[in-house]
């Protein structure tokens, strides 16, 4: 048999196998009875087209699916998606109901040994347990002087940059601030990005480049091993974005290795010493985790998670929230009045607890709602039993329908869809802080459970307390100090609306950021 004949035979067999697989997925697969596009049920190429080829568009396509097929849809051969706020507590429960992650989704950043990459509930619980003490409310309260110092530096640098150039890009400024805070805490050495003349360089582009690569890495897990085998200088010439991300990963690897070597050389009595107490990685290397977990070959991946998750999501919420405040004079006036009553001297140093008690500063929650946090769907798997989804009666359905989701099935929900649910949030695209207040103008927390910016349950974002402290102190102090002078500059709603889901929300690529200028004092 000739080589051509063998090739044709192999191709024929491959086609036959693929056809049989598609038939199985459409007719006999455990998810075959669930509604959704047949193309999506047949092949993951449907998702790949929208996310990798079209660039972060599958979240929007999933939204279209729900409008056509209802609250539960099959969005890939193996995965379901639900758009019903009533299912949040079932999908994202507390510690008493274990949930695994979907291995397909955890591989998108090339850090399989991190807490983010932990598929099983038990492995995640062990890794998270080592990190949790650093992000408790008590630990973050002790960090408030560092946060305040960064906010103070941010404000002075905004004034300097505006005086020099006429305007400032808050997108970059907030990214520098959050990075300086988390690097100081993680490594006992701040990145000091706020000191850079125009807030660059920073990690913003590197993290964004990595999230964009995730759409490809999910479908081709070999992507990161292949890229790391290519010298970075060569790779950077081939793809500057990829080079930026891998250089950032290398910086994490280098920093964590340096801490490991320094701590290994210290006598026990001197371990964990830092300028303001123990820092995350100084302590992790001497935690109760197994030695296999503490090796720098794994720990640098935790470094990427701590720095990556602790910078861009919070920075974007700060940016978008500031835009919405400045874009609405009535909202700005109300907030300034409330802050002035609490801080008669604009240079006071309020605690995060004091700021959280201010009713109108619930504006932070409305900012989280419209900035989404993590924009993409977050899947969970019940490996122990089926999950039950009860489809409510609507105008299109005569009666309630009960769906039994097979054990081991990945199921996702998406903050970007829940946060724009008009039944929960009337006129959902409008920025309305009042929706979080009662008739007397006091806080009511009834809608909090529908905010998925940090996910929910036992796998909720570990940095939620740090993020809230940065949000309340960042917005509160900034508006108190500069709110009477800040004005949007060549910026509109299109500079904050999400048009691309790159794990984090991304506005139009032509955007120049959220830019502001300052009026004379």
Q: Tell me the binding residues for heme.
A: 461
Q: Which of 107, 433, 461, 136 is nearest to 308 (CA)?
A: 461
Kindly give the interhelix angle for 170-187 and 312-326, rounded to the nearest 10 degrees. 140
Walk across the sheet containing 168-169 and list its strands. Answer: 168-169, 515-518, 486-488
Asked if 160 contacts 197 with a C-beta cutoff of 8 angstroms, the reply is no
Residue 497 burial class via C-beta count within 10 angstroms: exposed 0-12, middle 13-18, buried 19 and up: middle
Give the pair of three-digit tokens for residue 130.
Answer: 């080592």
Q: How would DSSP label each residue in 225-287?
A: HHHHTS-HHHHHHH-HHHHHHHHHHHHHHHHHHHHHHHHHHS-GGGTT--BTB--HHHHHTTS
Q: What is the DSSP letter of 406?
A: P
Alpha carbon distances (Å) from 399 to 73, 297, 487:
18, 55, 52
Q: Can you tell me the distance from the alpha carbon of 270 to that of 512, in angstroms, rounded to the nearest whole number?
A: 47
Q: Provide the β-strand partners of residue 486.
A: 518
Distance of CA 502 to the CA centre of its chain: 9
Binding residues: 461
Contact 278, 272 (CB under 8 A): yes
Asked if omega into 201 is within 30° of 0 (cis), the reply is: yes
Query: What angle, 0 to 180 degrees and rounded to 10, lies between the N-to-C axes of helices 144-165 and 464-482?
Result: 40
CA 270 and chain centroid, separation: 36
**Is the distance from CB of 516 to CB of 71 less than 8 angstroms?**
no
């Amino acid at each position: 048999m000739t080589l051509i004949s063998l090739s044709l035979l192999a191709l024929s067999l491959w086609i036959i196998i693929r056809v049989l697989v598609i038939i199985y997925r459409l007719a006999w697969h455990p998810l075959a009875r669930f509604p959704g596009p047949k193309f999506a049920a047949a092949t993951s190429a449907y998702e790949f087209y929208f996310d990798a080829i079209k660039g972060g568009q599958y979240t929007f396509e999933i939204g279209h699916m729900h409008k056509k097929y209802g609250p539960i849809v099959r969005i890939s051969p193996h995965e379901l998606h639900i758009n019903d706020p009533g299912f949040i507590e079932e999908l994202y429960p507390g510690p008493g109901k274990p949930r695994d992650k979907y291995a397909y989704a955890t591989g998108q950043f090339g850090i399989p040994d991190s807490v983010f990459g932990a598929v099983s509930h038990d492995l995640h619980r062990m890794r998270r347990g080592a990190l949790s003490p650093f992000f408790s409310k008590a630990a973050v309260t002790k960090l408030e002087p560092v946060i305040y110092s960064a906010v103070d530096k941010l404000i002075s640098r905004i004034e300097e940059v505006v005086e020099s150039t006429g305007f400032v890009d808050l997108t970059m400024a907030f990214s520098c601030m959050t990075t300086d805070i988390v690097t100081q805490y993680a490594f006992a050495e701040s990145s000091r990005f706020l000191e850079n003349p125009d807030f660059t360089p920073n990690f913003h582009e590197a993290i964004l480049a990595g999230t964009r690569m995730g759409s490809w890495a999910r479908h081709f897990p070999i992507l990161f091993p292949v890229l790391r085998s290519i010298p970075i200088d060569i790779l950077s010439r081939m793809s500057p974005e990829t080079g930026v991300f891998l250089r950032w990963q290398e910086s994490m690897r280098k920093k964590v290795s340096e801490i490991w070597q320094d701590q290994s050389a210290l006598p026990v009595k001197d371990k964990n010493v830092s300028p303001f107490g123990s820092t995350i990685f100084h302590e992790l290397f001497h935690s109760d985790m197994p030695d296999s977990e503490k090796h720098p070959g794994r720990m640098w991946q935790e470094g990427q998670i701590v720095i990556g998750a602790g910078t861009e999501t919070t920075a974007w919420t700060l940016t978008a929230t500031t835009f919405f405040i400045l874009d609405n004079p009535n909202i700005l006036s109300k907030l300034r009045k409330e802050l002035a009553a609490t801080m008669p001297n604009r240079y006071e140093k309020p605690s995060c607890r004091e700021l959280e008690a201010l009713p109108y500063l619930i504006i932070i929650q409305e900012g989280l709602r419209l900035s989404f946090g993590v924009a993409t769907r977050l899947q969970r798997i019940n490996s122990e039993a089926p999950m039950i989804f009860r489809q409510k009666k609507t105008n299109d359905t005569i009666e309630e329908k009960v769906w039994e989701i097979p054990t081991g099935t990945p199921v996702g929900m998406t903050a970007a869809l829940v946060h724009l649910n008009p039944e929960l949030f009337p006129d959902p695209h409008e920025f309305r802080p009042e929706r979080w207040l009662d008739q007397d103008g006091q806080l009511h927390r009834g809608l909090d459970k529908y905010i998925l910016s940090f996910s929910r349950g036992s796998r909720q974002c570990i940095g939620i307390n740090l993020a809230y402290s940065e949000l309340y102190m960042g917005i509160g102090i900034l508006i108190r100090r500069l709110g009477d002078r800040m004005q949007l500059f060549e910026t509109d709603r299109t500079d904050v609306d999400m048009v691309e889901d790159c794990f984090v929300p991304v506005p139009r690529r032509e955007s120049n950021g959220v830019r502001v200028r300052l009026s004379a004092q």
